[in-house]
Amino acid sequence: MSVNQLLWPTEIYSFKNEIIDNDKIKEIILEKEKSESSKNVSNVGGWQSEDAILEEDGFSGIKDFLFECILSIKNEIYIDDVKFLLNGDWANVNRYGHYNLNHVHGNSHWSCSYYVTETYKAPLYFSDPRVRKDTDSSYLYLKDKYFGIMGAHRLGPAKSMPGEVIFFPSWLEHGVNKNSTDNPRISISCNFLIGK
């Protein structure tokens, strides 16, 4: 008898909020885009707000929702007396041709992307963190249902919708595909620290 087990899986969490008025949040962010210069840390062509956007008027519902989500993760996988702290939050706008380079979020434990608009044809993707995977060419012969596990270098949701948020370990390399539509792709990114 054989036993199949996964070693070192990477946990990614997704949540959905149906109550937040994302159209109103979109208006606020697009107004900020017009009046505020971009910090452009990972964006190529896109716009990134300054930190602490969740402290501004209109964003308290999103902040409360994200805190509920990280509390749910904390309660599921961490010891009881651990705490979490917001460690940076900003808005992103990617228009036609804009994308985000592969990157990680240093000095944080969990990161998230909250979607104000859908991601259209520019989803968030994750790069396979297993550094030695490229030495095994046998992935070419795996059955289709396993191909994404071994052969794909980039995995992630095909599309995210307004009100969805994806939480992932901050060390997991990620990026955003090029926006090939005329619709602005708008998200809010956050980092969290976990500790005592």
Q: What is the CATH number of the domain that holds 92?
A: 2.60.120.620
By CB atoms closer than 10 A (0-12, 13-18, 19+), residue 86 is middle
Residue 30: inside a domain, yes or no?
yes
What's the pLDDT tens digit per position in 166-181?
A: 999 999 999 999 999 9
Assess if residue 37 is contained within a domain. yes
Residue 17 located in a structural domain: yes
> Of 124, 67, 71, 53, which is closest to residue 94 (Cα–Cα)?
124
The H-or-E segment that residue 71 falls in is: helix 60-77
**Beta-strand (E) ranges in the chain?**
13-16, 43-44, 47-48, 83-94, 99-103, 110-115, 124-127, 154-155, 164-169, 174-176, 185-195
| Residue-level pLDDT at 145 | 41
Structural domain includes residue 6: no
* 54 closest CA partner among 45, 46, 66, 63: 63
The parent domain of residue 155 ranges over 13-131+141-195
pLDDT digits (tens, 9 = 90+) for 126-178: 888 877 766 777 766 766 544 444 434 456 677 899 999 999 999 999 999 99
Q: Which of 19, 25, 26, 48 is nearest to 183 (CA)?
A: 26
Res 5: pLDDT: 77
Token representation of residue 65: 């929702």
**Cα dihedral: 191, 79, 14, 174 (round 10):** 40
